[in-house]
């Protein structure tokens, strides 16, 4: 069994980019990460790491090198806000919010990797987002449908969790934050040199376009995956 830890970035705000990012760990890698990262944070007087609130380059460097030494592979699935605005509301009923769209698609790509190794996946998805109820609904549908559970290689204990309680989500937070900063060209030369270390383990990065977005909606409709929110013509949603 592999552990997947996923975090979102920019789904709370009207930024040009929306994404879900995360890492897969083996059980041994997961234990090593937790055993090393927690005491490191305590030694720095930090309760937890949040990329956009940390200015300590030594902390960034330590976390990057720890990820390299413990994780198997990283994933980023993203979409531009401009492209998402062109999606038909009826299709959005099957893909859900940008948060759900990117998260579920990232999970599917993680599942593909796990199947290459004949493994299942225990998913830890960061909670606290305004669309957490929606992703919880999607995960519940997957758990209770054998075909979907196999598609996502999903373990039954998968769900949404607090970043402060599941320490590995901090690695996913770092990946998502660094990616969106790099996309916007907002990384300093020093930080650019530091994140070059990420290349020491594989990462799979992919972007939705209009065709793949439509295909995702069609695929979800065939699989009977639907949001529990109601989407209207404006693209906004309210709870059902």
Average pLDDT over residues 134-162: 96
What's the CATH code of the domain at 164? Answer: 3.30.420.10
The string of pLDDT tens digits covering residues 43-72 is 999 988 998 888 888 999 999 999 999 999
- What's the maximum distance between 2 C-alpha atoms anywhere in the chain? 51
DSSP 3-state of 18: strand
Beta-carbon count within 10 A of 149 CB: 17
User: Using CA atoms, how far apart are residues 110 and 50, in angstroms rounded to an integer?
Assistant: 23
Query: Which stretches of the chain are DSSP H helices?
Result: 27-43, 57-70, 81-85, 89-95, 98-116, 132-143, 146-151, 169-183, 189-195, 210-222
235 in any annotated domain: no
CB 71 within 8 A of CB 37: no
Average pLDDT over residues 220-229: 94
The string of pLDDT tens digits covering residues 11-32 is 555 678 899 999 999 999 999 9
List the single range of 49-53, 162-166, 233-237 with lowest mean pLDDT: 233-237
Range of the domain at 76: 2-228
Which has the closest alpha carbon to 235: 59, 101, 67? 101
238 in any annotated domain: no
pTM: predicted TM-score of the whole model, two decimal places? 0.91
Confidence at residue 52, expressed as pLDDT on a 0 to 100 scale = 84
* Pairing of β 73-80 and β 203-207: parallel
Confidence at residue 200, expressed as pLDDT on a 0 to 100 scale = 87
DSSP bridge pairs for 80: 17
Confidence at residue 186, expressed as pLDDT on a 0 to 100 scale = 63
233 in any annotated domain: no
234 in any annotated domain: no
- CA 218, 86, 212, 184 dihedral sign is negative
Average pLDDT over residues 155-173: 94
Average pLDDT over residues 33-41: 96
User: Domain tally for the chain?
Assistant: 1
Which has the closest alpha carbon to 67: 11, 23, 110? 23
Burial of 203-219, coded b for 16+ CB within 10 Å and e otherwise, reads eeeeebeeeebeebbee
* Pairing of β 17-25 and β 2-9: antiparallel
82 in any annotated domain: yes
20 in any annotated domain: yes
Confidence at residue 240, expressed as pLDDT on a 0 to 100 scale = 42
63 in any annotated domain: yes
User: Using CA atoms, how far apart are residues 186 and 230, in angstroms rounded to an integer?
Assistant: 36
34 in any annotated domain: yes
């Amino acid at each position: 069994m592999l552990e997947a830890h996923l975090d979102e970035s920019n789904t709370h705000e009207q930024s040009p980019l929306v994404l879900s990012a995360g890492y897969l760990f083996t059980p041994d890698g997961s234990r090593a990460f937790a055993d090393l990262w927690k005491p490191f944070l305590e030694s720095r007087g930090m309760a937890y790491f949040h990329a956009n609130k940390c200015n300590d380059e030594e902390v960034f460097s330590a976390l990057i090198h720890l990820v390299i030494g413990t994780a198997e592979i990283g994933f980023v699935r993203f979409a531009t806000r401009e492209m998402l605005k062109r999606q038909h509301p009826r299709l959005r009923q099957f893909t859900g919010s940008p948060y759900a769209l990117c998260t579920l698609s990232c999970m599917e790509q993680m599942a593909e990797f796990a199947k290459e190794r004949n493994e299942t996946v225990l998913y830890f998805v960061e909670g606290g987002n305004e669309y957490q109820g929606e992703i919880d609904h999607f995960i519940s549908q997957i758990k209770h449908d054998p075909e979907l559970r196999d598609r996502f290689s999903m373990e039954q204990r998968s769900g949404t969790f607090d970043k402060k309680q599941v320490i590995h989500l901090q690695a996913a937070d770092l990946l998502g934050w660094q990616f969106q900063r790099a996309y916007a060209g907002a990384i300093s030369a020093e930080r650019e040199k530091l994140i070059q270390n990420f290349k020491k383990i594989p990462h799979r990065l992919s972007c939705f376009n209009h065709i793949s977005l439509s295909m995702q909606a069609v695929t979800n409709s065939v699989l009977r995956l639907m949001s529990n929110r109601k989407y209207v013509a404006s693209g906004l949603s309210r709870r059902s």
